Amino acid sequence: MSNVIGVRFRTAGKMYWFSPGEYEIRRGDPVIVETSRGKEFGTVVVPPHEVDDKRIVQPVREIVRPANRIDIEQEMSNREKEREALIKCRRKAREHGLEMKLIMAEYTFDNSKILFYFTADGRVDFRELVRDLASEFKTRIELRQVGVRDEAKMIGGYGICGRTLCCHAYLPDFAPVSIKMAKEQNLSLNPTKISGSCGRLMCCLNNEEAVYEEINKRMPGVGDTATAPDGSSGEVISVNVLRETARIVVEVGDEREVREFPASELEFVKSNHRRRKKPKLDLTRRPDQAAAKVQAIKNAREQAIQAAMERQQEEQSEKSRVENKRSDNRRRGRGRRDDDGKQTDGNRPKNNEAAGRQEGSKKSGASGNRPNRNRGEQGNPNRAEGGGQQKGAAGSGEHRNSRNRNRRRSNRPHGREGNATGQGQSSGENPSGAGGPAE
């Protein structure tokens, strides 16, 4: 067992345990204690008493001394300087364009550090602001981001009940509050009715939650069938949790009446429409049924996975079929296939005469560029040359090469057979062979 006292540094703040030492301390006395931030000015909220060692964190520090008049004046001076520091910090934050709402400034007792509390929607880069504040106050600066509930606790205010906010008055910590508590207490689910100044659910919803849970266990629910002591039975239409009464609709002859009875005198049966909790799977009492349920769940999961894989394969096959069909349509549009099955371009000859010229040029090229005097006499040499060309890039190149060689042969000196043959080709004696391959 240890003799300790409870000390708080702020109103409705967290309480810390200290040893009174050799001093006589009473509740409400100001004291000076040593903390991790240095010397601090606090107020005793719990007088000296014996506490089990397991309830406190060891080791317990002793107080430095009871606060004197000088310490109290210094504390009041620090409170005045905090207001000025908060104004300067807000001005600096606006100059840096930081989206933050400064709430409070706090000086340590020995002025070795200043703490600024602020709220913001996200993370704020305040490094430049800290440098400016350190050069302005010539001391250590610390900025802490808090939530909206901490903001209401620090600033204070009045709730919709007309009283001081619970968090600012006496709550040392924030208890979790859920919408289930409002439903349990039959409160309106309108957010403006059950929300506090911070915009969150009111902390006072947790004050009577345990009482409402205990009473609701003994109360019928709306829609249940209840039987009164006089033998009349009917459906429950409303309940009063605080008075522990229920109103039921009973049939009297041809009429229906609403009567109110104490819940302790009613015998009621839960209706089927009320929500019931699902029974938990007990693996110890019925292992065979539990194993069968687990196996059924696994089989259902595997079937679902297999069905998903099959659907995916079907979609892929359908997609590939559509792509193949599109590629076939594009190939049919670019060209046609001849009788031999070879691919040709879309610029086919338009009449039989052009087809004959093309066939004749092919035969002349295959025969080694032999002269075709009949074709030269019947048609224009230029048309004969044009008919012997191939539409493809390779045929056009061979025609140009053959024509260039014939021109070079025509420019050679006379007297040899090769030159005479070149002159004959260049003068148009063999116009059909102009498009044939070179020797």
Q: Residue 238 maps to which CATH number?
A: 2.30.30
Number of neighbouring beta carbons within 10 Å of residue 193? 11
Query: Is 352 among the domain residues?
Result: no
Query: Is 338 among the domain residues?
Result: no
Tally of structural domains, the chain:
5
Q: So what's the pLDDT on residue 146? A: 92
Q: Are residues 16 and 35 in the same domain?
A: yes
Token pair, residue 194, equals 């059950």
Domain that holds residue 428: 367-435
Q: Is 93 exposed, middle or buried (0-12, 13-18, 19+ CB in 10 A)?
A: buried
Question: For 135-163, b where at least 16 C-beta lie within 10 A, e where not — what string?
Answer: eebeeebebeeeeebbbbbbeeeebeeee
DSSP track, 342-378: -EEES---SSHHHHHHHHHHHHHHHTTS---HHHHHH
- φ and ψ of 229, to 5 deg: -65, -30
Domain boundary among 20, 46, 67: 67
Q: Which residues contact 276 (CB under 8 A, 6 or more apart)?
A: none
Q: So what's the pLDDT on residue 94? A: 93
Domain boundary among 254, 269, 284: 269
Query: Is 93 among the domain residues?
Result: yes
Query: Is 132 among the domain residues?
Result: yes
d(CA 432, CA 76): 119
Q: Are residues 195 and 224 in the same domain?
A: no
Domain boundary among 14, 45, 67: 67
Query: Is 187 among the domain residues?
Result: yes
Q: Are residues 56 and 12 in the same domain?
A: yes
Q: Are residues 53 and 89 in the same domain?
A: no
Q: So what's the pLDDT on residue 330? A: 82
Query: Is 284 among the domain residues?
Result: no
Q: Are residues 207 and 246 in the same domain?
A: no
Can you tell me which residue has the tokens 């403006």? 192
Q: So what's the pLDDT on residue 328? A: 85
Q: Are residues 51 and 107 in the same domain?
A: no
Q: What angle do CA 195, 196, 197 make, to 5 degrees?
A: 135
Residue 242 CA to chain centroid, in angstroms?
A: 44
Q: What is the pTM (predicted TM-score) of this model?
A: 0.54
Q: So what's the pLDDT on residue 367? A: 45
Q: So what's the pLDDT on residue 10? A: 84
Token pair, residue 130, equals 């800290």
d(CA 249, CA 232): 9
Q: Are residues 18 and 38 in the same domain?
A: yes
pLDDT in tens, 143-193: 999 999 999 999 888 988 889 998 888 888 888 899 999 988 888 888 888
Query: Residues of the chain whose pLDDT is less than 70?
Result: 269-290, 334-439
Identity of the residue numbered 189: L
Q: Are residues 419 and 390 in the same domain?
A: yes
Q: So what's the pLDDT on residue 352? A: 47
3 state SS for 187-232: CCCCHHHHECCCCCECHHHHCCHHHHHHHHCCCCCCCCEEECCCCC
Query: Is 421 among the domain residues?
Result: yes
Query: Is 303 among the domain residues?
Result: no
Q: So what's the pLDDT on residue 243? A: 87
Q: Are residues 78 and 142 in the same domain?
A: yes
Q: Are residues 391 and 414 in the same domain?
A: yes
Q: Are 219 and 241 in contact (CB under 8 A)?
A: yes
